[in-house]
Amino acid sequence: MNAASPTFFARHEFLIRRLHSLSGLIPVGAYMTVHLLVNSTLMNGPGAFQTNVNQIHSLGAVLPLVEWGFIFLPLIFHAVVGLWIIQSGHSNAGQYRYVSNRRYTLQRWSGVVATIFILFHVFHLHGWFHAEFWLKNIAEPLGMAQFRPYNATSTLAVALSGYAWPVFYVIGVIACVFHLANGIWTMGITWGVWLTPKAQERANWVCAAFGLFLGMVGLSALFAVKTTDVEKAIQVENAMYEQKVKTGEIIDDPHKRSH
């Protein structure tokens, strides 16, 4: 009896794993780094953060194409292949030292936590889909889709009020940052960038420093938003909105403002 034909993943495993590794750095990891840096401008006040959000949304009709082409589709690919790698049970942890074996396991499970976090984080703030029927009848009645681009700081502050969502945010950011920083280290081995023990040790310190820095950047946004005066933030946001609508820098769009 002939053996069962190998699956698509099995036939192209080498290429898929390489693309999975690469997508974790570019564009997924690069986007996450920029996203956390932009969020950290909350430390400079609602005006600074609103300016950055306005620049992003100045893309207008092109924005959904950029989001799906450079963020969501690569992220979905990376997550799906990552879950396949976990369930397939293919492990090369035996190649590394005992501590690295633990990091290999943490890399997998931090990816699971990060996937769950991103899924609910996007739903919580953006509702997944921008279709009005979906937002009005499904997302918003569930308390999701709370972020409004032209009232960025104030709606983010409301969305992250209480304790449950901030705790969820902290866990998610730590998982995402660890997965990226540790992933860069393992990617360097996979792609033959650092192969000797000394090179791996140096890379380990660089990746650890990067992870600590990015983690502090990500959590600084939460600290800033939790100490935000929502009423003052709304005043700043509305003043900026009215001014930029008058000058034609942004198009009047009530759907992107808080109710």
Residue 252 DSSP symbol: -
Distance CA 171, CA 149 (A): 24
Structural domains in the chain? Answer: 12-89+112-256 (1.20.1300)
Is residue 10's pLDDT more than 90?
no
- Mean pLDDT calculated for residue range 189-201: 88
Within 8 A by CB and 6+ apart from 57, the residues are: 63, 149, 150, 250, 256
pLDDT: which is higher, 214 or 14: 214
pLDDT (0 to 100) of residue 93: 47
Q: Where are the alpha helices (DSSP H) in the chain?
A: 8-11, 13-25, 28-40, 46-57, 63-67, 73-88, 98-126, 132-134, 152-159, 164-190, 197-226, 230-247
Q: In this structure, which long-range contacts are made by residues 85-93, counting pairs with CB atoms below 8 Å and at least 24 apart in sequence?
A: 85/17, 85/20, 86/111, 86/112, 88/9
Within 8 A by CB and 6+ apart from 194, the residues are: 188, 200, 202, 203
Is residue 4's pLDDT more than 90?
no
Is residue 254's pLDDT more than 70?
yes
Q: Where are the alpha helices (DSSP H) in 58-151?
A: 63-67, 73-88, 98-126, 132-134
Average model confidence (pLDDT) across the chain: 89
Sign of dihedral through CA atoms 249, 252, 255, 259?
positive
Distance set, CA 74 to CA 7, 28, 225 (Å):
22, 7, 29
Instruction: Give this prediction's pTM.
Output: 0.88
Please, what's the b/e burial string for 53-63 (b: 16 or more CB within 10 A of its CB; e: otherwise)? bbeebeeeeee
Is residue 1's pLDDT more than 50?
no
- Mean pLDDT calculated for residue range 171-183: 96
pLDDT: which is higher, 148 or 103: 148
pLDDT (0 to 100) of residue 66: 92
Nearest to 225 by CA among 32, 93, 41, 35: 41
pLDDT one-digit tens code per residue, 67-102: 999 999 999 999 999 988 888 765 554 455 566 678
pLDDT one-digit tens code per residue, 20-65: 999 999 999 999 999 999 999 999 999 999 999 999 988 888 988 9
pLDDT (0 to 100) of residue 9: 74
Residue 211 near residue 178 (C-beta atoms within 8 A)? yes
* Backbone φ/ψ region at 51: left (φ over 0), alpha (ψ -120 to 50), beta: alpha
